[in-house]
Amino acid sequence: MRVKTQYLIEGTILSKDVPGLANRPIMAGKTILDHDHIEVLKAFLVTDVSVEKTLINGLPFVPKEIIDQEGEEQESSDSGFIPSYLKAVQSYKQLFKTWQAGTPMDVSKVRELIIPLFNKAMDNPSELFLLHHYSTTTDYLYHHAISVGLLSGYLAKKLNLERGDVLQIAMAGCLVDSGMAKIPLKILEKKTSLTTDEFNEVKPHPIYSLQMLQNSSILKEAVKYAILQHHERLDGSGYPSGKKGEALHPFSRIVAVADVYHAMTSERNYRKKQSPFKVAEMILQDDFGKFDIGVVKTLLSCITNYSIGSRVKLSNGYIAEIIFVESNAPTRPMVKLDSGEILPLTKNRELFIEDVL
């Protein structure tokens, strides 16, 4: 819907770019507005913008005046996938806070969150590769849990696992960081990079997660391996035990890729988010040998399959559309600028896709 800038509030999500000059938007779609963003829009004399019907906290946005519904489907604000996702994040947040307070984990409540949402996501899986846009530095941990669950389940589905295992892996992805509830708040809420000592305090969190759900009859033993091993790496460089190779359960290899992908594409207190293409390139090249190559290729195939026609922001600030993906260089597609110029990123190595809009 389109609303006047004067009625915007913090937590509003832009649904479309706010156009500027020279093919560079003033603000990109899916930006989560804070006070500074709203002031920038006012400074540029932007009178109205297109926004989502749901705020980042999962509540409906009810402005004082709506200029235009913009031809949107006439459906309740509760029925779309993204509103459902944002509500699931807030529900998981409430569960997590009870675990921090010492309440035993009820795995069935997590299942009630993630499985219906996963089923809804399968109606339009491309939206899974846009979830990083909605992750905020404040609520990153809760977005991460829900997103990793959904991505893990989808990768398992694309790898042709049985339906029961797909749902179990979605559960595993959602639960891998539940043990973070046992980490001191001063570490969880730190705004800068962790020190070595602080990181060493975080490393046992997969063990804490396993301890919290060890007695659950809802989860297969394979899921418990996935939770314990999601930070282990094939070359032995991971934690908490430094296991490698065949010692790592196939479920853990799937969750590990979903976990690192969402973490690297999300905004963090100490690091800017990176585009799905840049992250995939880093996993393939910089982290070669750490992850299961079959799972990585499946992730890459999903990203590229859903990217044709997508608008992207290049590292030089220009906006372009992906028009072709070369099979031998899937992370560096051919793009078309609004000016009509065609740029094959394989031949323009200094450029990369900074964000998918």
pLDDT of res. 76:
44
Say how many C-beta atoms besides its own lie within 10 A of residue 263's C-beta.
18
Phi and psi, residue 222, nearest 5°: -60, -35
Both tokens of 49, joined, read: 């913008």
pLDDT of res. 39:
94
pLDDT of res. 22:
63
- Dist. CA 218–CA 222, nearest whole Å: 12
pLDDT of res. 339:
86
pLDDT-derived band at 275, boundaries 50, 70, 90: confident
What is the CATH T-level fold of the domain 81-273, as seen in this structure? Hypothetical protein af1432 (1.10.3210)
Asked if residue 50 lies in contact with residue 94, where contact means CB atoms within 8 angstroms, the answer is no
Both tokens of 269, joined, read: 């207190």
pLDDT-derived band at 272, boundaries 50, 70, 90: confident
pLDDT of res. 73:
46
The stretch 120-140 carries a mean pLDDT of 93
Question: Does the pTM of the predicted model rise above 0.85?
Answer: yes
pLDDT-derived band at 75, boundaries 50, 70, 90: very low
The stretch 66-84 carries a mean pLDDT of 68
pLDDT of res. 77:
44
pLDDT-derived band at 278, boundaries 50, 70, 90: confident
At 157-172, the pLDDT tens digits run 999 999 999 999 999 9
Question: Is residue 69 pLDDT above 80, yes or no?
Answer: no
pLDDT-derived band at 24, boundaries 50, 70, 90: confident
pLDDT of res. 7:
93
What percentage of the chain reaches a pLDDT higher than 70? 97
pLDDT of res. 70:
67
Tell me the three-class secondary structure of 153-216, residue by residue: HHHHHHCCCCHHHHHHHHHHHHHCCHHHHHCCHHHHCCCCCCCHHHHHHHCCHHHHHHHHHCCC
At 304-314, the pLDDT tens digits run 888 889 889 89
**CATH architecture of the region 1-76:** Alpha-Beta Complex (3.90)
- The residue extents of the domains of the chain are 1-76, 81-273, 311-356
Question: Is residue 189 pLDDT above 60, yes or no?
Answer: yes
Question: Is residue 251 pLDDT above 90, yes or no?
Answer: yes
pLDDT of res. 74:
41
Chain-centre distance for alpha carbon 111: 19
The stretch 251-278 carries a mean pLDDT of 91
pLDDT-derived band at 329, boundaries 50, 70, 90: confident
The stretch 248-252 carries a mean pLDDT of 97
SS3 305: helix
- Dist. CA 227–CA 82, nearest whole Å: 26
